[in-house]
Amino acid sequence: MQMTDILSKEAWQALEQEIFERYGLNGRAYDVKGSVFTGHTTWCNRLCPAIRARPGGVSAICSVANQALAAEAQATGLPVVGECDAGLLKVCVPVMVDGQLVGIVGGCGRLLGEGEVDSFMIEKSAGISEAEVAALTSDLRPMPEAEAEALAEELRQRVEAALAAKG
């Protein structure tokens, strides 16, 4: 089974957009391989697209965090709220069918609670200077942990409803 067997690509795109609009996060749906399949992109900050524009940033920050949190979500079958190596919030909600991971839905890109951006890690992995990181994150908004947990629960319920509707 694939994510598009549960909801259409357009429905996943709409959910990504809703995550962006309601929670101010980069809303994303990933397939079982960890690839974005919707073709829809939102950016809630200026740092994330700068990191993703550099191969070192994608592989050392975005991909590593996605794989680690997705593995935890798959192992537990529960949503995971954590941070990427850049220090930004990441929410991963597993989409499981008959105990098998089909994909992940969630969002990323704000500070979690009182968290801080790891400028040193970003400079070493993505080659973005600490001064540039500071400029790119000057308007970065924090998200209280309770709000991140509420989003994770809401997404879990929506995934369950979509799975139930599919039978």
| Residue range(s) defining the domain that contains residue 120 | 3-166
Mean pLDDT along residues 35-48? 94
DSSP state of 140: P
- State residue 59's pLDDT score: 87
Taking alpha carbons only, the member of 124, 153, 133 closest to residue 61 is 124
Q: How many domains does the chain have?
A: 1
Identity of the amino acid at 66:
N
What average pLDDT is seen over the chain? 95
DSSP string, 28-92: EEEETTS-B-S-----SSSHHHHHHTSHHHIIIIIHHHHHHHHHHHHHHSS-EEEE-TTSEEEEE
- State residue 166's pLDDT score: 86
- State residue 13's pLDDT score: 97
% pLDDT > 90, the chain: 90
With left for phi above 0 and alpha for psi between -120 and 50, is residue 76 left, alpha or beta? alpha
Give CA–CA dist 119/25, Å, rounded. 20
63: how many CB neighbours lie within 10 A of its CB?
14
Give CA–CA dist 71/61, Å, rounded. 16
Q: What is the pTM of this model?
A: 0.93
Residue 11 Cα to chain centre, angstroms: 17
